[in-house]
Amino acid sequence: MSRSDVLVDAEWVEAHHGDDGVVLVEVDEDTSAYDKGHIADAVKIDWKTDLQDPVRRDFVDKAGFEALLSARGIANDDTVVLYGGNNNWFAAYAYWYFKLYGHHDVKLLDGGRKKWELESRELVTDVPKRAATSYTAQQQDSSIRAFRDEAVAAIGKLNLVDVRSPDEFAGRLLAPAHLPQEQAQRGGHIPTAKNVPWSKAAAEDGSFKSDDALRALYRDEAGVDFGKDTIAYCRIGERSAHTWFVLHELLGQPNVKNYDGSWTEYGSLVGVPIAVGDAS
Amino acid sequence: MTSDGCGAPAGGAVATDAGHQAIVQGRVTRGGSAVPTGYARLLDSGGDFVAEVPLGEDGGFRFFAAPGTWTLRILAPGGVRAERAVAADIGQVTELEVAV
């Protein structure tokens, strides 16, 4: 796996516009962004209503994912190119999610919607019509998804990478600074976690930094041991999907899991250890 | 937008009672008109990224910060960049208009 296998740039998207077997997918939490304008022929997936179970806190099951992709006209052997707002957080989350259900060929548009917009590239409002498919998903790949007991068991043993902002890590904020601070759970971080905010992996235009810069960031500056397995987490698992993409897909670290329960689950668990204060 | 998600809605989340919040908000204009396509980034006193929202249709942005001194950076198409220093405090709404 190398960078060119998993990342494409705007020129690639424009050159492959209309190709059979290439499906562009915008993934946002706020789907009004897609409705106001999207890259030509992109279909949309809503991070929440399409990918989360409406009752339990969990993902849609295998049959639900199959129904979703079939309805969007995505086939098993299609190349899926994901992009979105928020510096590709939700697109990276969808990338991880597509991998969880075994889709083979998935790529991210580097820089996502922001870089595309800042470069004044074309956005359209026409919604494409794609013929439905009969998509078959795999069972979830448990090698890339961590649950709470694994997070607790990893304390002091595996790399835990907390990708939230320093104020969230320290316990001073319970959510990112663009959202109201109204959470009820405890603040802080999982003991022994390193704090490497997701934003340090991205340039200002939302594109990923070079492999050398990323390696230096995690291994040399933050002290992540590349010889050990890693669990990444944030607040609800999408910023850490961005970091999972960096560690697993760009840097080729073999055993990296995204803990999608993240701080909204961990910080509400009874009896688990919590550390507060800034990274040392 | 509620905080069960984590994304940044265009223009920033709807303001709640400022009583518990340190709100930094405002609007980006060019020649007196709103700039609806662009991004507002909040950086901490060390210059590190804290948060970002896409500008709203009216060029608006809003952050829920912690008390302290911040840098607001605006990015817009055409290589437009602007920066302002801004102070935030609990219970206060700090309002600014940024002309680019």
First to last CA, chain A: 34
Bigger pLDDT: A144 or A167?
A144
> pLDDT digit string (tens) for A96-126?
999 999 999 999 999 999 999 999 999 999 9
Residues forming a β-bridge with B33: B30
Cα A185 to Cα A21: distance, rounded to the nearest angstrom: 45
The distance of Cα A40 from the centroid of its chain, to the nearest Å, equals 23
Q: Which parts of chain B sit beneath pLDDT 50?
A: 1-4
Q: Cβ of A118 under 8 Å from any chain B Cβ?
A: yes
Cα A1 to Cα A249: distance, rounded to the nearest angstrom: 7
Our CA-based measurement puts residue B64 at a distance from the nearest CA of chain A, in whole angstroms, of: 5
Chain B positions with Cβ closer than 8 Å to A: 1, 3-10, 12-13, 16, 20-21, 37-39, 41-42, 44, 48-54, 62-66, 75-78
C-alpha pair distances (Å), A52 with each of A45, A62, A224, A260:
11, 12, 31, 12
- Test the A interface: residue of B6, B16, B21, B80 with most A CBs within 10 Å: B6
Cα torsion for A234, A243, A239, B66, to the nearest 10°?
70
Cα A205 to Cα B75: distance, rounded to the nearest angstrom: 9
> pLDDT digit string (tens) for A179-213?
665 565 799 999 999 999 999 999 999 999 999 99
**A179/B75 CB distance under 8 A:** no
Class of the CATH-defined domain B18-99 = mainly beta
> pLDDT digit string (tens) for A22-46?
999 999 877 788 998 999 999 999 9
Q: Which domains, from first to last, does chain A contain? A: 3-118 (3.40.250.10), 145-266 (3.40.250.10)
Which residue of the set A232, A234, A246, A256 is catalytic? A234
- Our answer to whether residue A151 is catalytic in this structure is no
Instruction: Name the residue ranges covered by the structural domains of chain B.
Output: 18-99
| Nearest-by-Cβ selection for A165 from B1, B7, B50 | B50
**pTM, full prediction:** 0.91
